[in-house]
Amino acid sequence: MGLKAAVIQFPGSNCDHDAYRALEANGFDVKMHWHEVAIQKNQYPLIIVPGGFSFGDYLRAGAIAKLSVAAQSLEEAIEAGAHVMGICNGFQILLESRMLPGYLHVNSHLRFVSKTCSLKVTDEAFPWIQKKDLGKILRFPIAHRFGNYQVPKIDRGEVDAVLKYEKNPNGSFEDVAGIYRKVGKGSVMGLMPHPERASFDALHLSDGQLFWKNAKEALG
């Protein structure tokens, strides 16, 4: 039996199975966790809040999903030791829930963008990014319209900018593509690019394996 991991499913999620397969391929014991079910303390060491259009992005991306039972129980699970990664819409949900600082605007060019981006690893993020990974260039796809991350400033005492775009595709503050915050015994990481869509050689994009292998090594 592998290390337990969960992927939270919302109505409208469309990257949940991508995340499931990426984790499963790396030996995790993965469960799809429905949004109406609370997450218990110490139930999962790893939790993915996946990309997609939770609740159709009605009202505002992530605004309804943050009210779900699973999302409402996340903070206690993190405090107890869970490590959560929110990808794209999952990042939007974490920001709406105020588990991460800042907010997302529509992209600076006002258009949906879908392409592969080069990202520089700029800081550690346990268990996803190790010290030996600093300076690496990773290639992940992006697909979003509301991906322009803004924050008055990065408070280094609260959060770390762990990934930056080499060429900013959306106007994000200081080219930030992903941020990380320690919370209690656990942590929260949010990013707009999709590591789960860059986790298989058959896709000619496999840099996302870095996150899953590091997490398995750190927690397994």
Active site residues: 88, 194, 196
Non-local (6+) Cβ contacts of 37 within 8 A are 69, 70
Distance CA 74, CA 99 (A): 9
Bridge partners of 128, per DSSP, are none
| Terminal-residue alpha carbon distance, the chain | 11
CA distances from 162 to 37, 46, 82, 123, 134 (A): 31, 18, 19, 4, 9
Distance CA 26, CA 216 (A): 8
CB 165 within 8 A of CB 119: yes
As to burial, measured by CB atoms within 10 angstroms (0-12 exposed, 13-18 middle, 19+ buried), residue 209 is middle
- 107 residue type, one letter: N
Pairing of strands 46-49, 83-87: parallel
